Amino acid sequence: MNRREFLHLCGGLFLISQLPERAYAHFAELADEPISLKEVKRLKIAVGASAPIRVLHISDTHLTRVDSRDNERKHTLAASRSKAFPMAEQYLDAAVRYARERDLKILHTGDMQDFVSEANLDFIAATFATGDWYTSAGNHEFSQYVGGAKENAEYKAQSYDKVQAVFPNDLTVASRVINGVNFVAIDNVYYYVTAEQHAAVKREFERGLPVVLLCHIPFYTPKHCLDALTRHQGRTSYMVATPPKVIEDFRRDPSSAASETYRSRAVSYDIDQPTYDFYDWLKEQPQLKAILCGHMHEFFEEQFSPTAVQYTVGANYFGYAQEIEFV
Q: Which residues of 250-286 are buried (b: 16+ CB within 10 A; e: fewer)?
A: beeeeeeeeeeeeebbbebbeebeebbebbeebbebe
Lowest-pLDDT choice from 51-55, 88-92, 151-155, 296-300: 151-155
Contact (Cβ atoms closer than 8 angstroms) between residue 276 and residue 245: no
The closest of 112, 99, 24, 123 to 316, measured between CA atoms, is: 112
Return the pLDDT at 78: 98
Q: How far is CA 114 from the centre of its chain?
A: 11
- Residue 269 maps to a domain: yes
Percent of the chain with pLDDT over 90: 78
Q: Which 8-state DSSP code applies to residue 326?
A: E
Pairing mode, strands 53-58 and 105-108 = parallel
- Phi and psi at 316, nearest 5°, equal -60, -35
Return the pLDDT at 11: 42
| pLDDT tens-digit map of 27-56 | 444 445 789 999 999 999 999 999 999 999
CATH code at 203?
A: 3.30.750.180
Residue range of the domain that includes 246? 38-326
pLDDT band at 250 (very low <50, low <70, confident <90, very high): confident
- Residue 13 maps to a domain: no
- Residue 24 maps to a domain: no
Given a cut of 60, is residue 260 above it in pLDDT? no
Angle between helices 21-32 and 88-102 (to 10 degrees): 60
- Residue 239 maps to a domain: yes
Contact (Cβ atoms closer than 8 angstroms) between residue 54 and residue 310: no
Return the pLDDT at 29: 47
Return the pLDDT at 253: 63
Hey, is 227 helix, strand or coil? helix
Give 118's Cβ-side CA count (13 Å radius). Answer: 10
Summarize the confidence of residues 128-140 as an average pLDDT.
Answer: 97
Q: Where are the alpha helices (DSSP H) in the chain?
A: 3-10, 12-18, 21-32, 72-81, 88-102, 118-128, 153-157, 160-164, 195-205, 222-231, 244-248, 265-268, 273-283
| pLDDT tens-digit map of 59-107 | 999 999 999 999 999 999 999 999 999 999 999 999 999 999 999 999 9
Return the pLDDT at 1: 53
Percent of the chain with pLDDT over 70: 84
Whole-number Å distance between alpha carbons of 62 and 87: 10
Count structural domains, the chain.
1
The closest of 59, 64, 31 to 296, measured between CA atoms, is: 59
Summarize the confidence of residues 204-232 as an average pLDDT.
Answer: 98
| pLDDT tens-digit map of 157-168 | 999 999 999 999
- Residue 10 maps to a domain: no
Return the pLDDT at 60: 99
Whole-number Å distance between alpha carbons of 58 and 61: 8
More confident residue, 179 or 6: 179
Given a cut of 90, is residue 22 above it in pLDDT? no
- Residue 192 maps to a domain: yes
Lowest-pLDDT choice from 15-29, 54-68, 223-237: 15-29
Average pLDDT, the chain: 90
More confident residue, 5 or 232: 232
